[in-house]
């Protein structure tokens, strides 16, 4: 019996091809819509590079038929959690309460977590 786990996941280049067909757009139109260069989109299409999280979020915002979860999964990344203005303010207040050394340590840890999320599959 076949399961969903046996089905290969769609990669980001395949998702972009599907998005282009669904919306009738090309690399340049996608680039303009999400604020990147057409060359950047071309590197994604040809599987030379993966987009940054901000570009993935912009893609979901510009082309709402594709969810953030779907886009991040195709890029081989976990979807970052939401960060509303209230949560951002709370985190900033907590960070401001730390010493300079503690802030530096927290920044190192956050960079490491972000790098881990960029390089590991969901």
pLDDT single digits (tens) 70-89: 999 999 888 888 888 899 99
Instruction: Kindly give, in sequence order, each residue whose CB lies less than 8 Å from that of residue 57, ignoring residues fewer than 6 positions away.
Output: 68
Encoding tokens for residue 55?
Answer: 């570009």
Instruction: Tell me the C-alpha distance between 118 and 82, whole Å.
Output: 17
Q: CA-CA distance, 78 to 74, in Å (whole number)?
A: 10
Closest CA to 46 of 12, 74, 70: 12
Q: What is the mean pLDDT of residues 106-114?
A: 91
pLDDT of residue 121: 54
Residue with the bigger pLDDT between 113 and 26: it is 26
Q: Is the pLDDT of residue 9 over 70?
A: yes
**pLDDT at position 55 over 90:** yes
Residue 119 — pLDDT band, cuts 50, 70, 90? low
């Amino acid at each position: 019996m076949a399961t969903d786990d046996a089905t290969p996941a769609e990669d980001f280049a395949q998702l972009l091809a599907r998005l282009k067909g669904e919306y009738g757009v090309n690399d340049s139109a996608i680039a303009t819509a999400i604020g990147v260069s057409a060359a950047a989109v071309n590197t994604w299409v040809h599987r030379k590079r993966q987009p940054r999280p901000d570009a993935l979020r912009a893609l979901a915002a510009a082309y709402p038929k594709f969810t953030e979860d779907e886009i991040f999964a195709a890029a081989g990344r976990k979807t970052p959690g939401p960060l509303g203005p209230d949560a951002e303010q709370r985190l900033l207040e907590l960070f401001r309460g730390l010493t300079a050394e503690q802030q530096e340590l927290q920044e190192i840890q956050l960079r490491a977590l972000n790098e881990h999320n960029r390089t590991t599959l969901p």
